Structure 1
Amino acid sequence: MEPASLENLCVLYHSANYIVVNKHWDIRIDSKMWYEKQTVQSRLKHRFPELADPGTYYGFRFCHQLDFSTSGALCVALNKAAAGHAYRCFKDRLVTKAYLALVRGTVAEEKITLDFAIGKNTTEGKTHMMCTEGTDGCENPKPCQTELTVLEHGEYDGDPVTKVLLQPLTGTLRVHCSAIGHPIVGDYTYSLHTDNTPYRMMLHAYFLHITLESEPIHVTAPDPFVPTLDSKWAPQRCVNVLEDLLKNIFTKPQTEIQEDPEPQEHRRSSPVESEEQQAQCQQWLCEWSLD
């Protein structure tokens, strides 16, 4: 992708209720800092000033989040009702996502379920990071899963790497990849500040499917990890074809692991939200949404 500018916002989907954009790498979704001119919010406001809602802090309601250094499909709701519908889909696990990544080393197994509980890192100097259960300073770890499927083996700038498809079931992709010894190329944080040569972190939100009842959203953000766009990436052996995997993902909705594996007949139904909780939720949706 060319350097971010106000003019080159890439729109993948646009309706009266939603916009899905291809978020640029290394820009924030929004920012309160006056010096951060390039954000998704500022680019949307420049391109679609008539769609900005003055009743919200940032002008737009983002339905989920992507890290500063992650590119790809990002959904934005254009009104409060649309934001509420999207929030319900995320809450009820009716959203399917898949990411592309280049990871360090050669991943030997064709498919791996990464199953590590993840918690907050309380170690001094690492409180901005997450960590896996058993790590020093890991606080309140929760069960998490990510499915990793190998696409290609090759080299990046002369070093062995593997191109993979990542499906977050309840996982944190960057932590899981690092935990198995295959950190994402260019992940400065989870390489403990050693992987700083690549121009970006090689993680891309490739596929997004939100099963909205009145307006199902199904988009892909073009694959940036191809030699024609980055000559340092040299694929050598294909293991799985991305298009075939995508068909399987679309026909088999994503599921999430349960923290409490009780039989269905023994589970209690979720408590009904109070009016106060619903009001708080709607207020929260005015400014932000849940991933």
Structure 2
Amino acid sequence: MFLARDENGRLVNALEDELVKQAYYCPACGTSVRMRKRKNVRRHFAHESLKKCDFFHENEGPEHLENKKRLFYWAKENDEVEMEYPIPELKQIADIFINKQLALEIQCSPISCELLRERSNGYRSLGIQVLWLLGEKLWLKERLTQLQRDFLYFSNNMGFHIWELDHKKQVLRLKYLLHQDLKGKLHYQVKEFPYGKGNLLEILRTPYQQQNIITFSVKQDRNICHYIQKQLYYQNPYWMKQQAKAYLRGENLLNLKNQDWYPQVRPIEHDSFCQIKQDISDYYRNFRIYYQKNPQTELQKLYPPAFYQQYFLKNMVK
């Protein structure tokens, strides 16, 4: 944390103020904090003990501190911004609070899905939008974890998307048009925004702004039937569940051919999402209908939800 109160109750900022050796206190809970400065770590405050603080769950590491500092000064160029803004009703601290409407939360370490939902729903209960920006440990890799799933956002222009912070490269990274193939591998596109360049708030609105249709292609796996047979043989829980659903439809996955699995790359499976509150069932319907009505190709071309919606309205609605 960068903010603390000194012995006289004055709010001080470790990034900007001259600090002397004295007692400092957490502005939210009032317990003692220590000023720290180590090699390669920016000067900051840390709780002596977090046991009595309901606002901070852990002391922040170098990655968190550096990203917070960068985002604060970046946002401050164009908007009204507060750092480490306490919200007593929720017993939470917003890392960056923009225009009293948007909370930017920097998350560099894993947390429980339950705590993430509690914090996110708390913000929404007060009419505050929250955007989670992920540190290196939580970046997307080849497959989507349940926690990462709960950080996903959705827009018609960019589909499922997620935000990452790269303090080493000094970029804010947007991964968008997220899809999964039948093996669970992720496919997506990437945009990077250098720290300090452009209007941060406008950049964060990118997924919701009108833009040209973005597409990319993924090759279909010719051996997908063999893969699924193998998963069923070894009783993979996911595929056993899919087989049970198939039985209820009077089908058997082992009897399906390659063409029956087209398209192999699909939207993130529908389930409860933490950050996505709008009804996106039409997206799944429009996606399915588009590939049913168009010829199968070895290279599956993927589009944003807005494209499938336009196709449905033009070709299926009379």
Q: TM-score range by the shorter chain?
A: under 0.3
Q: Which has the higher helix share?
A: 2
Give TM-score, length-normalised by structure 2. Answer: 0.20
Give TM-score, length-normalised by structure 1. Answer: 0.21
Rg larger in structure: 2
Higher relative contact order, structure no. (Cα contacts within 8 Å, ≥ 6 residues apart): 1
